Structure 1
Amino acid sequence: MEFVDAIRDVKKIEQIKAKLKERSIRDYLLFVIGINTGLRISQMLKLKLNDVLTSEGEPAKVLYISPDERGIYLNRNVRNALSYFLEKKEIDREDYLFTSTKKGDPITRQHAYRIVKQAAAEAGIHEHIGTHTLRKTFGYHAFRKGVSLALLQERFHHATPSETLRYIGAKKEDAAIPLIDVNL
Structure 2
Amino acid sequence: MSRKLPVILTAEEQQLLLDQFTTRYPTQERNRVMIKLILDTGLRRAEAINLRWNDINLMSGKLKVVQGKGAKDRILWVQEETLEELKHWKERQVDELTKREAVNKYNLVFTTLTGNKLNPNNFYKVVNGYSQKAGIVKEVSPHTLRHTFATDLYRETKNIRLVQKALGHEDLSTTMIYTHIVDDELEEAMKGFRKDK
Q: How many residues align?
A: 167
- The aligned amino acid for 1:159 is D
- The aligned amino acid for 1:82 is L
2:49/2:110 contact within 8 Å kept: yes
Q: 1:50 to 1:69 in 2, by over 3 A?
A: closer
Question: Equivalent of 1:124, from 130, 135, 140?
Answer: 135
- The aligned amino acid for 2:55 is D
After TM superposition, the score normalised by the length of structure 2 is 0.72
Question: Equivalent of 2:8, from 6, 9, 12?
Answer: 6
Rounded to whole Å, the distance in 1 between the matches of 2:85 and 2:92 is 11
Q: Which residue of 2 aligns with 1:19?
A: 20
After TM superposition, the score normalised by the length of structure 1 is 0.76
Q: Which residue of 2 aligns with 1:49?
A: 53
- The aligned amino acid for 2:54 is N
- What pairs with 1:57-136 in structure 2 (closer than 5 Å)? 58-66=58-66, 68-90=72-94, 94-101=106-113, 103-136=114-147
Instruction: Quote how far apart the aligned CAs of 1:139 are.
Output: 0.5
Does the residue aligned with 1:124 lie in a helix, a strand or coil? coil
What's the % identity of the aligned pairs? 19
Q: Which residue of 2 aligns with 1:139?
A: 150
Which segment drifts farther, 70-79 or 87-96? 87-96
Highest CA radius of gyration, 1 or 2?
Answer: 2
Does the residue aligned with 1:71 lie in a helix, a strand or coil? strand
Rounded to whole Å, the distance in 1 between the matches of 2:93 and 2:116 is 16
Instruction: Quote how far apart the aligned CAs of 1:79 are.
Output: 0.5
Rounded to whole Å, the distance in 2 between the matches of 1:99 and 1:60 is 23
Q: 1:78 to 1:28 in 2, by over 3 A?
A: same
Cα deviation 1:63-87 (Å, max 9, x = unaligned): 1123853311111132022123134
Gaps of at least 5 residues in structure 2 are: 98-103, 187-197
Root mean square deviation of aligned Cα? 2.8
Cα deviation 1:83-116 (Å, max 9, x = unaligned): 2313433266953222124x43221110110111
Gaps of at least 5 residues in structure 1 are: 176-184
